[in-house]
């Protein structure tokens, strides 16, 4: 039986995608379902040719080339001859900022899920650790955006997180306001920030638990993950990084402030994939997560800052608290012990996964009701039913990319934007059919709870919501 799907938007002009990994393959059928576009003007840029047959079956052009500093301008310019269209960048090792700038010059709309540099930034770099963080990358994107106000829309960093998580945060704030009797109808950045302050939200964890398991044991020496292995390794071996709230009393050990920009974040001189924090997710309850650097850990505290002149009077702490699937945890332990990157990598397909799913949401803490988790709970079995080439982790990303495509098509001249600045209600309306169950859970847990035995540790008993209490040294 042929299913019919709502067409949300139309792309006029060429539609070009860069990258056809697990996310690119998952995004493509969603585009075909929900976006009207000229198939003759579609191009997939992907160097390996591994999935050339899949694209040929769909009658879609495949440009088998790796974009590098010497060719990206000529290749992309030739695909947009009339100065219109959209570029969806889902690649690794292609400099997002350079491509964004080119798209502005060409008049082309742009979307990506991460600010990606050319090779040499993540590994083997001679840069000081402070300059290998996402903070300077984001500051460059924001500065570039100020050069093109009202230009072709360029959405930076819009997948599940960063991306969807910022839309869920706004829904969570409205839910918390309703549950605590606070009138709320924010319609500007300033109003959203004041609502968060009025509610007493001290911080936000992007709290995720991936429980997907494979039908076979992980082979030693193979890094296994449910999404891009290269993506996890690259961001996991940047320094740990987090948005820094105004309620925080002192920096953590090896923590450093930045000496430029608005000062909404700090970094810790250790890899994010080796920096654990205490957090909480539904189903499992208290858990450890990794402080893997992500753009939302920067954009959220920046967006929700309340200013008195040039002085921040309120800003929430924000960071990723990520518990990957069990195979990825074992893979991280293995490479941390060996002190070298893996030679073999494997992304679990939807067919290999036999159980589990992904819980991805925001944990708002420090308010009148203690802590609240609000987010998407999606099983791999549900994801398989919803669309082809999807596991639970991928589905939360691919559906967010779809929502971004729709929003950009409806707002073609918005200039440079992040997910926090987009219409969260519209984006979630597009994405919600693919998110499983959206749930709200309150808990009386704090990071000072649940110790098997008492050992010496850095604690602040006077305020459970200080970051030092979350950090597990």
Query: What tens digit of pLDDT does each residue of 91-115 get?
Result: 999 999 999 999 999 999 999 999 9
pLDDT above 80 (res 456): no
pLDDT above 80 (res 3): no
Write down the pLDDT at residue 2.
61
**Mean pLDDT over residues 124-131, rounded?**
94
Write down the pLDDT at residue 310.
93
For the chain, the farthest-separated pair of C-alpha atoms sits apart, in whole angstroms, at 67
Residue 304 Cα distances to 200, 203, 227, 265, 375, angstroms: 12, 11, 30, 13, 19
Write down the pLDDT at residue 28.
98
Write down the pLDDT at residue 317.
98
Averaged pLDDT score across all residues of the chain = 96
* d(C-alpha 390, C-alpha 83), whole Å: 33
Write down the pLDDT at residue 455.
80
**270 class by beta-carbon count within 10 Å (0-12 exposed, 13-18 middle, 19+ buried):** middle
**Mean pLDDT over residues 442-447, rounded?**
97
CB 16 within 8 A of CB 37: no
**In three state form, how does the secondary structure of 374-398 look?**
EEEEEEHHHHHHHCCCCCHHHHHHH
pLDDT above 90 (res 426): yes
pLDDT above 60 (res 125): yes
CB 437 within 8 A of CB 377: yes
168-219 pLDDT, tens per residue?
999 999 999 999 999 999 999 999 999 999 999 999 999 999 999 999 999 9
Q: Is 210 helix (H, G, I), strand (E, B) or coil?
A: strand
* d(C-alpha 277, C-alpha 295), whole Å: 18
Least Cα distance to 349 among 398, 400, 396, 389 occurs for: 389
**Mean pLDDT over residues 322-339, rounded?**
96
Fill in the DSSP letter of residue 343: S
Tokens of 265: 């974040």
Domain 164-391+434-472 class? alpha beta
Per-domain residue ranges of the chain: 9-155, 164-391+434-472
Q: Model confidence at 448, in pLDDT bands (50, 70, 90)? A: very high
φ, ψ of residue 354 to 5 degrees: the values are: -105, -15
Classify domain 9-155 by CATH number: 3.40.50.720
Q: Model confidence at 83, in pLDDT bands (50, 70, 90)? A: confident
pLDDT above 60 (res 1): no
First to last CA, the chain: 55
pLDDT above 60 (res 314): yes
**Mean pLDDT over residues 230-239, rounded?**
96
Q: What is the pTM of this model?
A: 0.97
In the chain, pLDDT over 90 holds for what percent of residues?
95
Least Cα distance to 8 among 26, 27, 32, 38 occurs for: 32
* d(C-alpha 271, C-alpha 275), whole Å: 6
* d(C-alpha 212, C-alpha 170), whole Å: 28
Write down the pLDDT at residue 454.
79
Q: Do domains 9-155 and 164-391+434-472 have the same CATH topology?
A: no
* d(C-alpha 1, C-alpha 431), whole Å: 23
Write down the pLDDT at residue 452.
81
């Amino acid at each position: 039986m042929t299913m019919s799907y709502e067409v949300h938007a139309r792309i006029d002009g060429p539609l070009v995608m860069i990258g056809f990994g697990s996310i690119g393959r998952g995004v493509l059928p969603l585009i075909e379902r929900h976006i009207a576009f000229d198939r003759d003007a579609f191009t997939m840029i992907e160097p390996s040719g591994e999935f050339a047959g899949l694209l040929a079956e769909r009658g879609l052009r495949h440009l088998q080339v790796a974009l590098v500093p010497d060719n990206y301008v000529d290749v992309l310019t030739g695909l947009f001859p009339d100065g219109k269209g959209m570029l969806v960048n889902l690649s690794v090792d292609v400099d997002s900022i350079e491509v964004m700038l080119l798209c502005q010059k060409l008049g082309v709309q742009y979307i990506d899920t991460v600010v990606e540099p050319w090779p040499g930034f993540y590994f083997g770099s001679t840069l000081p650790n402070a300059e290998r963080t996402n903070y300077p990358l984001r500051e460059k994107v924001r500065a570039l955006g100020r050069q093109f106000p009202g230009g072709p829309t360029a959405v930076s960093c819009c997948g599940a997180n960063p991306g969807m998580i910022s839309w869920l945060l706004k829904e969570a704030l409205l839910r918390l306001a309703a549950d605590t009797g606070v009138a709320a109808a924010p319609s500007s950045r300033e109003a959203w920030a004041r609502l968060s302050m009025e509610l007493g939200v001290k911080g936000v964890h992007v709290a995720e638990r991936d429980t997907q398991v494979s039908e076979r044991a992980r082979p030693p020496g193979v890094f296994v993950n449910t999404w891009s292995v290269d993506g996890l390794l690259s961001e996991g071996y940047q320094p740990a990084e987090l948005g820094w709230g105004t309620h925080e009393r002192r920096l953590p050990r090896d923590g450093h402030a930045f000496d430029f920009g608005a000062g909404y974040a700090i970094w810790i001189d250790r890899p994010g994939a080796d920096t654990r924090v205490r957090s909480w997710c539904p189903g499992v309850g208290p858990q450890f997560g990794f402080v893997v650097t992500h753009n939302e850990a920067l954009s959220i505290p920046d967006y929700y800052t309340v200013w008195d002149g040039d002085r921040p009077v309120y800003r929430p702490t924000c960071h990723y608290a990520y518990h990957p699937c069990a195979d990825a945890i074992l893979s991280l332990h293995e490479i941390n012990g060996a002190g070298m990157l893996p030679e073999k990598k494997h992304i679990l397909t939807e067919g290999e996964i036999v159980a589990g799913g992904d819980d991805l949401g925001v944990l708002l803490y420090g308010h009148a009701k203690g802590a609240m988790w609000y987010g998407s709970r999606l099983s791999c079995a549900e994801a398989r039913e919803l669309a082809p080439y999807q596991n639970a982790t991928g589905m939360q990303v691919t559906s967010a990319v779809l929502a971004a495509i729709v929003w950009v098509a409806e707002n073609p001249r918005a200039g440079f934007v992040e997910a926090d600045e987009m219409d969260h209600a519209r984006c979630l309306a597009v994405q919600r059919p693919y998110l499983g169950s959206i749930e709200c859970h309150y808990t009386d847990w704090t990071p000072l709870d649940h110790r098997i035995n008492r050992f010496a540790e850095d604690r602040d008993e006077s305020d459970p919501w200080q970051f030092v209490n979350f950090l597990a040294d």
